[in-house]
């Protein structure tokens, strides 16, 4: 770490102490002011975003994640205002007890301090991270991707302007250069960064996991399945599969592989009608391919290979695999799933309960699409990421997941025998 980098990280750490002293009302007022600025300065944000989009092919799966428009900015502002209305996660008494010797113990929630965030072509993440970190009393240090650098810098400048107007330390949200060197520095910033959260594809997450010397929460990458059971309702399944695949194909909660019970192969063409209308390319196993041939556009129907089952498509592509039983579906998910989100479409209650109990994932759905795996949809206002690990937070992470705790012990002169 250079002296310049050390000064930057020291400033962020110092700002965390100041933010922790603000009242919840002060934090909420800042968030509402930033939300207002997002809408009034939308032209500035969109102009910066257009510069990034000009360097990205519209055919690239990252293009949709990178793109901002008026509707998305309004949604970002609305989510920030929602975060401002939520109860503070800081200072909660999680547990309390009086010991026989008269010591009074309290377990109280507190901010982590400094949250490091590494993300790719996701300019909305800049605002999500700030709203959740600021509300929970944390400073944040960000390392965005090169593809979204103009958008991220415009967003951080907007936030800095609001903070300066209120006499607050702008170092509480610091954006590093969009370089690999900056990422390495962040991941090695022991003593300055309390927690790092990567948000991006598998390559980014693997890099962070193998490189980091600071604590990391693993998020994001998802190979997502929907199992269409022998007892499933066709109309319901059609809506769920369509929504899970085509709502926003580039995000991590999107359906990657449809698993269908062999007894329902005759229903597969009807199940896939909306997918064909929206241009989805299907990589089908032998049985599914036979069932769809002549009923699905030939140019968008491909025979699958084994690698397809481990692919997070992030585009209008998906796999279809045939199984002979619920056990077969569970075995396929166990082998190829990433622990993100999985769903079953089934009327049979026993199948529903078995699926819920046996599937090892952060979010398990019954008769609903995996597109609901989202902090805003869970009532968190926004999310800082979706954890796929088991130690610590799991699933969409909101305010509570950005706090740790400490024990407060009060006595009146007791000593330990």
Q: Which residues contact 8 (CB under 8 A, 6 or more apart)?
A: 141, 171, 174, 176
Its pTM stands at 0.88
Phi, psi of 398 (to 5 degrees): -115, -145
Q: What is the DSSP letter of 216?
A: B
Q: Are residues 70 and 183 in the same domain?
A: yes
Q: Are residues 15 and 134 in the same domain?
A: yes
Q: Which of 316, 326, 346 is nearest to 232 (CA)?
A: 346
Distance CA 27, CA 33 (A): 10
Q: For 342-397, how does the pLDDT look when each residue is reduced to its tens digit (9 = 90+)? A: 999 999 999 999 999 999 999 999 999 999 998 889 988 888 889 988 888 889 99
Q: For 74-92, how does the pLDDT look when each residue is reduced to its tens digit (9 = 90+)? A: 999 999 999 999 999 999 9
The two three-digit tokens of residue 415, written as one number: 């000593």
Distance CA 66, CA 76 (A): 14
Handedness of CA 305, 226, 356, 250 (dihedral sign): positive
Q: How far is CA 206 from CA 199, 203, 327, 398, in A?
A: 11, 5, 30, 23
For the cut 90, the answer to whether the pLDDT of residue 70 exceeds it is yes
Position 124 confidence tier, pLDDT thresholds 50, 70, 90? very high
Distance CA 276, CA 40 (A): 40
Supply the pLDDT for residue 406. Answer: 96
Average pLDDT over residues 268-283: 96
Q: Are 314 and 61 in contact (CB under 8 A)?
A: yes
Q: Are residues 186 and 236 in the same domain?
A: no
Q: Are residues 186 and 210 in the same domain?
A: yes
In a domain, 183, yes or no: yes
In a domain, 404, yes or no: yes
Q: Are residues 41 and 133 in the same domain?
A: yes
Q: Are residues 213 and 230 in the same domain?
A: no
Q: For 6-28, how does the pLDDT look when each residue is reduced to its tens digit (9 = 90+)? A: 999 999 999 999 999 999 999 99
Supply the pLDDT for residue 133. Answer: 97
In a domain, 380, yes or no: no
Q: Are residues 178 and 215 in the same domain?
A: yes
Position 64 confidence tier, pLDDT thresholds 50, 70, 90? confident
Average pLDDT over residues 396-406: 93
Please write down the long-range contacts of 206-215, taking CB distance under 8 Å and 24 or more positions apart: 207/183, 208/118, 211/184, 211/187, 212/187, 212/188, 213/187, 213/188, 214/116, 214/186, 214/187, 214/188, 214/189, 214/190
The two three-digit tokens of residue 321, written as one number: 């695999």
Supply the pLDDT for residue 60. Answer: 81
Q: Which of 13, 121, 153 is nearest to 57 (CA)?
A: 121
Question: Which CATH number characterizes residue 205's domain?
Answer: 3.40.605.10
The top-scoring range by mean pLDDT among 113-122, 230-239, 374-383 is 230-239
Phi, psi of 136 (to 5 degrees): -95, 10
Q: Are residues 150 and 269 in the same domain?
A: no
Supply the pLDDT for residue 295. Answer: 95
The two three-digit tokens of residue 138, written as one number: 């944390």
Position 222 confidence tier, pLDDT thresholds 50, 70, 90? confident
For residue 188, what are the domain limits?
A: 3-220+388-410
Distance CA 109, CA 136 (A): 10
In a domain, 381, yes or no: no
User: Average pLDDT over the chain, rounded to whole?
Assistant: 94
Q: Are residues 56 and 189 in the same domain?
A: yes
Q: Where are the alpha helices (DSSP H) in 224-325?
A: 234-246, 268-271, 273-277, 286-292
In a domain, 299, yes or no: yes
Q: For 245-267, how does the pLDDT look when each residue is reduced to its tens digit (9 = 90+)? A: 999 998 889 999 999 999 999 99
Distance CA 271, CA 365 (A): 19
Q: Which of 239, 263, 31, 8 is nearest to 116 (CA)?
A: 8
Q: Are residues 60 and 198 in the same domain?
A: yes
Q: How far is CA 74 from CA 34, 100, 117, 155, in A?
A: 12, 55, 23, 14
Q: Are residues 88 and 57 in the same domain?
A: yes
Select the more confidently predicted residue: 96 or 389.
96
Question: Which CATH number characterizes residue 323's domain?
Answer: 3.40.309.10
Q: Are residues 90 and 212 in the same domain?
A: yes
Supply the pLDDT for residue 98. Answer: 96
Report how many domains make up the chain: 2
In a domain, 62, yes or no: yes
Beta bridge partners of 141: 116, 174
Determine what percent of the chain is predicted with pLDDT higher than 70: 100
Q: Which of 237, 257, 238, 239 is nearest to 346 (CA)?
A: 237
Supply the pLDDT for residue 221. Answer: 72
């Amino acid at each position: 770490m250079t002296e310049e980098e050390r000064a930057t990280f020291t400033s962020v750490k110092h700002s965390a102490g100041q933010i922790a002293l603000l009242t919840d009302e002060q934090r909420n007022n800042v968030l509402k002011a930033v939300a207002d600025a997002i809408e009034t300065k939308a032209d500035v944000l969109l102009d910066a975003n257009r510069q990034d989009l000009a360097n990205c092919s519209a055919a690239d799966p990252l293009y949709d994640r990178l793109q901002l428009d008026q509707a998305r900015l309004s949604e970002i502002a609305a989510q920030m205002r929602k975060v401002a209305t939520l109860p503070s996660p800081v200072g909660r008494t999680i547990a309390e007890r009086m010991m026989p010797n008269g010591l009074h113990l309290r377990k109280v929630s507190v901010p982590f301090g400094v949250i490091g965030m590494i993300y790719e072509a996701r300019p909305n993440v800049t605002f999500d991270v700030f709203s959740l970190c600021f509300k929970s009393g944390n400073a944040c240090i960000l390392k965005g991707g090169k593809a979204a650098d103009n958008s991220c810098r415009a967003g951080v400048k907007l936030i800095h302007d609001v903070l300066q107007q209120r006499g607050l330390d702008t170092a509480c949200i610091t954006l590093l250069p969009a370089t690999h060197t900056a990422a390495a520095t962040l991941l090695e910033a022991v003593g300055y960064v309390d927690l790092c959260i990567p948000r991006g594809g598998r390559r980014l997450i693997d890099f962070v996991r193998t490189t980091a010397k600071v604590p990391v929460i693993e998020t994001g990458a998802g190979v997502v399945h929907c199992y269409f059971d022998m007892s499933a309702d066709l109309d319901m399944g059609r809506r769920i599969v369509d929504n899970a695949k085509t709502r926003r194909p580039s995000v991590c909660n999107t359906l990657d592989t449809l698993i269908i019970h062999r007894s329902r192969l005759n229903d597969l063409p009807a199940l896939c009608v909306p997918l064909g209308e929206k241009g989805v390319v299907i990589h089908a196993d032998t049985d599914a391919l036979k069932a769809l041939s002549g009923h699905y556009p030939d140019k968008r129907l491909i025979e699958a290979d084994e690698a397809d089952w481990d692919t997070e498509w992030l585009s209008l592509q998906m796999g279809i695999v045939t199984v002979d039983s619920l056990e077969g579906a569970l075995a396929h998910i166990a082998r190829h799933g990433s622990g993100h989100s999985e769903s079953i479409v089934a009327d049979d209650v026993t199948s529903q309960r078995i699926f819920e109990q046996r599937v090892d994932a952060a979010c398990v759905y019954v008769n609903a699409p995996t597109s609901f795996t989202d902090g805003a949809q869970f009532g968190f206002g926004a999310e800082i990421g979706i954890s796929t690990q088991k130690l610590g937070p799991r699933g969409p992470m909101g305010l509570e997941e950005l706090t740790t705790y400490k024990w407060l012990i009060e006595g009146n002169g007791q000593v330990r025998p």
